[in-house]
Amino acid sequence: MKKPWYEWIQSIDRRIIYLVVFVVVSLPFFIKIKLPMRPSEPTENLYNKVEQIADYNKTSTKKKCIFFQMDWTPSVQAECWPQTEAMIEHCFMRDIPFIIMGWAPEGPMLTQTIAEKRAKEHGKKYGEDWVNFGYKPMNLPAFLAFIKDVYSQINQDTEGTPIRNVPVMQNVESIRDVDLIFHVTGSGGVEAWIQYLQPETGTDVATGCTAIIGPEMYPYLDSGQLIGMMEGLSGAAQYEHQIGYIGKGTRGSGSQNLAHFWIIAMMVLGNVGYLFQRKQEREEKQRLEMAGE
Amino acid sequence: MATELEANDASRKRTELIVVLVISGAVLAYILIDMFRAMASPPDGQSGFGALFDRFMVGVAAICTIVIYSFLYKENPFYRFLEHVLVGLSVGFYTMLTWTQLLKPNWWDKLTGADGLPPNWYWLLAIFPGLMWYFQLSRKKVWLSRIIIMFFMGTGAGLSFKGIFNLLLTPGRGQIQQSFKPFLTRFGGGVVFTATNFNNIIFIVVILCVLSYFFFSFRHDKIKILPYSSTLGRYFLMVCFGTIFGTTVQGRMSLFIDRLTFLYTEWLKVLAG
């Protein structure tokens, strides 16, 4: 017997849905689909903060820097790579020095790769424009000691140079000389800076996070504990849009938008099918009851 | 009937095998052609063998990507194999990192004396508290592990309390302080009601409703408003969970887009990077 449409719609083979997702996501790689982009408030705030640092550095002899806490791994690089790339691009464009460190082993390695790639185009040099502390696993007491005195916990950079001899570090006597902590993560951890660093020094903290943990960050944005945020691939695309750079975020946003349209369409159709089926079942039940009477 | 089903099943399996063989053949042929093409005309500054090896690695990455996504069709031994390879690689990688980044610079080098420093044999003492953790594996001596866990728990709890209080009560930015939001705004000697104030009202209503949902000190029906506010609180929570689910889907899509970008740009090179 032929299934009614509302039942058919609820029992589409998931593999067909995946196949359509594949086609839909692939389309923008071959056909240019341009949708309007409007940066969200947290992304705009982050951009403004970086611009503020750049403006300060223009007029001051002692340059302020950004601390990149890179706690991401290859499993979340789809979202965290474009975020990191956009921020590095902005720093290079506006001549802001930065420091890389990570509590996850792969984060600083991948960030170094991005920095080296972008540095070639901007004529920037390792040591003068950025430094990489590398993977520094820290438990809480070690982290508190790091906040009190960076040099007590970090002796050398990833190249084995004592960090006191690295030119970027000449303007950094303590963590107070860092004007922004930019924490990129796939699984939280930004709270450590909010809980232990911010009350002591008042340093602004921002995050680049996966879309999954994005909603959890909004209370911190609302209270001002986080100054800004790049949320997922769309956050990276918005930031790229602000700095006028076309990177992985912008390239992926078309695919993401189409995929979302498809998912929303499937959800609506599935629910419409379910509602109709329920209505039919109710009517059938009433008919049977009446026939029984 | 049973025979007909078995025949259908066998026919489906045969078709699947043919499709897998065709795809595998095409993929392998492309990788081989790509490798030898790269070797014949290597990029500037790279040897022929280097270019061949690079393309081989890209090909391996592409095969891994395709095989992992084959799980979407159905569970298969190739997917299972790669899953185990991934777990094994991770364990190997992290074991190596624990030694090179953690134990060697922080313990071994200090113990044996590296970079011209004299050996410090007191670092041998660190072995004993470290080994105490492993008494977790013994039923009789598990109490020994509890001693060291006690120190970790004590330090952790103490510092976490400080962190939580900072999170909630830091002047100007604390979560509790920032939850008190104005319903009206002072403007030109008087007060006005702005869009921000409207937002603040929503904020306060949501907070109170959600808090009332988790209020278990006495029965909700004793105070007339509580059943309504807690029901509303439940709906607000559902909206929040819905948002988290939505962003999870967004995250998964991003992963897929990243892999497709890799396949189209780096492997198939049908698009410019």
What are the tens digits of pLDDT across the range A84-111? 999 999 999 999 999 999 999 899 999 9
- The distance of B143 to chain A (nearest Cα, Å) reads 24
The DSSP H or E segment spanning A56 is helix A41-59
Single pTM value for the model: 0.88
| β-pair partners for A69 | A101, A183
Q: Are residues A197 and A159 in the same domain?
A: yes
Nearest to B173 by CA among A215, A229, A195, A40: A195
Model confidence at B105, in pLDDT bands (50, 70, 90)? confident
- The pLDDT value given to residue B199: 93
Residue B273: pLDDT over 60: no
Mean pLDDT across A130-157: 91
- Tell me the torsion sign for CA atoms B13, B17, B18, B23: positive
- The pLDDT value given to residue B5: 81
Domain ranges of chain B: 2-74, 120-178, 179-261
- The pLDDT value given to residue B262: 93
Centre a 10 Å sphere on the Cβ of residue B49 and count the other Cβ atoms it contains.
Answer: 11
**Cβ contact, residue pair B173, A260, below 8 Å:** no
Interface mutation target, options B196, B257, B263, chain A, most CBs of A under 10 Å: B257
Q: Which two tokens stand for residue B245?
A: 């689910």
| β-pair partners for A183 | A69, A207
Nearest to A218 by CA among A40, A226, A210: A226
- Tell me the torsion sign for CA atoms A222, A227, A233, A238: positive
Does residue A140 belong to the interface with chain B, where contact is any CB pair within 8 Å? yes
Mean pLDDT across A217-229: 95
Q: Are residues A227 and A282 in the same domain?
A: no
**Cβ contact, residue pair B163, A192, below 8 Å:** yes
Q: Tell me the angle at which helices A248-292 and A77-93 cross, rounded to the nearest 10 degrees.
A: 140
Residue A168, domain CATH: 3.40.50
Mean pLDDT across A269-283: 93
Interface mutation target, options A19, A140, A197, chain B, most CBs of B under 10 Å: A140
- With a CB-CB cutoff of 8 Å, which residues 202-231 of chain A face chain B? 210-212, 214-216, 219, 222-225, 231
3-class DSSP state for residue A164? Answer: helix
A87-120 in b/e form (b: 16+ CB < 10 A) is bbbbbbeeebbbbbbbbbbbbbbbbbebbeebbe
Out of A141, A224, A256, closest to residue B254 by CB:
A256
Between residues B144 and B114, which one has the greater pLDDT? B144
Q: What ipTM was predicted for this assembly?
A: 0.87
> d(Cα A125, Cα A122) in Å, to the nearest integer?
9
Nearest to A25 by CA among A83, A78, A80: A78
Between residues A6 and A182, which one has the greater pLDDT? A182
Domain count for chain A? 2
What are the tens digits of pLDDT across the range B195-251? 999 999 999 999 999 999 998 887 878 888 899 999 999 999 999 999 999 999 999
Interface mutation target, options A15, A17, A24, A29, chain B, most CBs of B under 10 Å: A29
- Tell me the torsion sign for CA atoms A137, A140, A143, A145: negative
- The pLDDT value given to residue B71: 94
The structure tokens 């990029």 sit at: B43
Out of B73, B173, B271, closest to residue A198 by CB:
B173
Residue A291: pLDDT over 80: yes
> d(Cα A118, Cα A82) in Å, to the nearest integer?
12
Choice among A38-47, A204-213, A236-245, B46-55 with the minimum mean pLDDT: B46-55
Mean pLDDT across A122-147: 93
Tell me, letter by letter, the H, E, C secondary structure of chain B.
CHHHHHHHHHHHHHHHHHHHHHHHHHHHHHHHHHHHHHHHCCCCCCCHHHHHHHHHHHHHHHHHHHHHHHHHCCCCHHHHHHHHHHHHHHHHHHHHHHHHHHHHHHHHHHHHCCCCCCCCHHHHHHHHHHHHHHHHHCCCCHHHHHHHHHHHHHHHHHHHHHHHHHHHHCCCCCHHHHCCCCCCEEECCEEECCHHHHHHHHHHHHHHHHHHHCCCCCCHHHCCHHHHHHHHHHHHHHHHHHHHHHHHHHHHHHHHHHHHHHHHHHHCCCCCC
**Cβ contact, residue pair A255, B260, below 8 Å:** yes
| β-pair partners for B185 | B192
Phi, psi of B179 (to 5 degrees): -80, -15
Residue B1: pLDDT over 70: no
Model confidence at B133, in pLDDT bands (50, 70, 90)? very high
What are the tens digits of pLDDT across the range B2-14? 778 888 888 888 9
Q: Are residues A163 and A274 in the same domain?
A: no
User: Are A69 and A181 in contact, with CB atoms under 8 Å apart?
Assistant: yes
Centre a 10 Å sphere on the Cβ of residue A153 and count the other Cβ atoms it contains.
Answer: 17
Q: Which two tokens stand for residue A278?
A: 């329920």
Out of B102, B160, B258, closest to residue A137 by CB:
B102
**Cβ contact, residue pair B94, A260, below 8 Å:** no
Q: How far apart are the first and last CA of chain B?
A: 54
Which value, to the nearest 10 degrees, does the dihedral of the CA atoms of residues A55, A61, A62, A63 take?
Answer: 40
- The distance of B34 to chain A (nearest Cα, Å) reads 21
User: Are B59 and B52 in contact, with CB atoms under 8 Å apart?
Assistant: no
Q: Are residues A104 and A156 in the same domain?
A: yes
Residue A230: pLDDT over 90: yes
The structure tokens 């058919």 sit at: A8
Out of B72, B159, B174, closest to residue A223 by CB:
B174
Q: What is the mean pLDDT of chain A?
A: 93
Model confidence at A1, in pLDDT bands (50, 70, 90)? low
Centre a 10 Å sphere on the Cβ of residue B24 and count the other Cβ atoms it contains.
Answer: 14
Does residue B110 belong to the interface with chain A, where contact is any CB pair within 8 Å? no
Residues in B touching A15 (Cβ below 8 Å): 72-73
Q: Are residues A105 and A9 in the same domain?
A: no
Model confidence at A293, in pLDDT bands (50, 70, 90)? low
Instruction: Tell how many helices (H) and how many strands (E) occur in chain A.
Output: 12, 6
User: Are B267 and B58 in contact, with CB atoms under 8 Å apart?
Assistant: yes
Which amino acid is it at B194?
Answer: T
DSSP state for residue A187 in the 8-state scheme = S
Does residue B172 belong to the interface with chain A, where contact is any CB pair within 8 Å? yes
| β-pair partners for A134 | A101
> d(Cα B232, Cα B230) in Å, to the nearest integer?
5
Q: Are residues A268 and A166 in the same domain?
A: no
For chain A, helix, strand, coil in percent to 5 are 60, 15, 25
Q: How far apart are the first and last CA of chain A?
A: 29
Q: Are residues A83 and A118 in the same domain?
A: yes
Residue B184: pLDDT over 80: yes
Interface mutation target, options A77, A233, A260, chain B, most CBs of B under 10 Å: A233
What does the angle CA A175 – CA A176 – CA A177 come to, to the nearest 5 degrees? Answer: 90
User: Are A63 and A229 in contact, with CB atoms under 8 Å apart?
Assistant: no
User: Are B108 and B98 in contact, with CB atoms under 8 Å apart?
Assistant: no
Q: Are residues A187 and A95 in the same domain?
A: yes
Out of B155, B175, B256, closest to residue A141 by CB:
B155
| β-pair partners for A230 | A208
What are the tens digits of pLDDT across the range B12-58? 889 999 999 999 999 999 999 999 999 998 888 888 899 999 999 99
Supply the range of the domain harboring residue A264.
5-32+255-292
- With a CB-CB cutoff of 8 Å, which residues 38-67 of chain A face chain B? none
